[in-house]
Each structure stands twice: as structure tokens, then as C-alpha cells.
Amino acid sequence: MNTKHFYYLLQLLILPLLFVLVMWGMYWMDWNYFLELYEWGIYPRTIHGMIGIVTSPFIHGSVKHLYNNSITIFVLLIALQYFYKTQMWRVLFWGIILSGFGTWLIGRESYHIGASGLIYVLVSFIFFKGVQTRYYRLVALSMTVIVLYGGMFWYMFPDIEEGISWEGHLSGFIAGIILCYTLEVPDYNRIYKYDWQKPDFDPTSDPFMKHFDENGNFSPPPPPTPEVEKQAESDTYFQCNLPVVYHLKEKDKSES
């Protein structure tokens, strides 16, 4: 690995590591100093609860909750940086704001904490943006996200599991869709291997396509008639046009 690739890999890891370290650091401080940081979460439809729109993604209530979110947010942030580098900061900023504000609007009267809302933003954005672009690498990333995190879909509905903020999940999922259709990505030039894959391909001018009739049946052309080559007449000295007559003579017995 050369120096350029090493620094690029390091840049991909800095943001996810910092994000996860802040999450674990706040949990450690809350656990050791009894800060009751959950009160800095989102409390729906209250002025004080709006502070949690920004702070709630870094606050967690248990080690299990924190551990599950840490792995997922770490993987998704790497994917976001690698494939959507120019849109990364806007996705993070507006994703936190929109998902948090949605939770503040529709949430139950309880403190909503955790990075789950942001995780649903990233999953939703990466999946729908990849399908929208139709670029094969981004589509492959979308399919990978569905395989890894497709089961999260059911946790956007109430009464699936106690103790989770399904409102935050739903708000994050909707926020990801909004960002997908409002943030533009560069146009990816599709690589065409064959001429018939190109948008401007005209089948009427293609020699091979002309062998198909209007119903799509293949009608090959008749085989070419072989040409008989005429032997050129020779004008050499040894050519003779006189007829040759042969006379057979019996052999005399006395000669044998």
C-alpha cells in the first residue's frame, strides 16, 4: 500500500471513529458521574426537548443500545464518505435535523435518545440514491445495504419492540428519502460494452439486426452461390487441337 492510499484510508476512518468515540465518551461520563444525559434527548413538542434534535444521536441508555448503533453507524459513515463524498456533510447535517425534528413532532411524550434516527437516514439515503442513479456500483451498494440492514424496516412500526423509538426510525427513514431527491450527485458515465446498449442505437442501420423480421424472427440470408472458375485456355507450344486416334494391335504369339 502506497502513501496516497494510506492517507485516503485514514481519512475514511477519522470521521466514523470520532463519531463513535464521542458516543462512547458521553456514555462513560453519564455512567460515572450520573449526569442523566437522557434529559438532553428529544422530548416531543416542548421547547427544551428541541435541544435533543442535535444532542440525542450521541446519547444512549445502555451498553447494548450503544454497541449495536456503534457498529452500524461506523460502517454506514465509511460507505457514505467513499461513495458520496461531496454530499456527506449535507447528509449528516440535514439528516440529524430532519430526523430529530420529525421525532419531535410525532413522538410519544418521552425522551428519545440514540443514533438510530441517523442510521435510518443513512440506510434510506444510500438505498434510494443508488437506485435513482442506476449506476452499477451505487446499485450494488444499495443491494448490500438491504441485505445487511433490511430487517430494520419493521422497527419503523409501533408495538414491534418495547423501549425503542419507532417514531425516530420512521422520521429518519423519511428524511433519507427527502435528501435522496433533493441532493444531487454527479452524473456517472455508464460504460457500454456493446453498441446495442447505447441510448442512440438505431437497429435499422445495424447489419445484424436487419436479419430479423418485424415479429422478431431471425431470417438468415441465403448462402452465396459459389462461382465456378473457368479454366483459362493455354496458348503454349504444347497445345494441340488435332484429334488423336489409337489403334489396338494384338500381340503375336511367336513373339512371346
Question: Which region, left, alpha or beta, applies to residue 198 given φ > 0 means left and ψ of -120 to 50 means alpha?
Answer: beta
Q: What are phi and psi of 212, to 5 degrees?
A: -105, 140
pLDDT of res. 230: 58
pLDDT of res. 1: 58
Residues 71-108 have pLDDT tens digits of 999 999 999 999 999 999 999 999 999 999 999 999 99
Nearest to 129 by CA among 88, 71, 75: 88
| pTM, two decimal places | 0.74
Decide if 201 contacts 195 (C-beta within 8 A).
Answer: yes
* CA dihedral (42, 47, 53, 58) positive or negative: negative
Low-confidence ranges of the chain (pLDDT < 70): 1, 186-192, 196-197, 227-242, 252-256
pLDDT of res. 239: 61
HEC secondary structure over the chain: CCHHHHHHHHHHHHHHHHHHHHHHHHHHHHHHHCCCHHHHCECCCCCHHHHHHHHHHHCCCCHHHHHHHHHHHHHHHHHHHHHCCCCHHHHHHHHHHHHHHHHHHHCCCCCECCCHHHHHHHHHHHHHHHHHHCCHHHHHHHHHHHHHHHHHHHHHCCCCCCCCCHHHHHHHHHHHHHHHHHCCCCCCCCCCCCHHHCCCCCHHHCCCHHHECCCCCECCCCCCCCCCCCCCCCCCCCCCCCCCCCCCCCCCHHHC
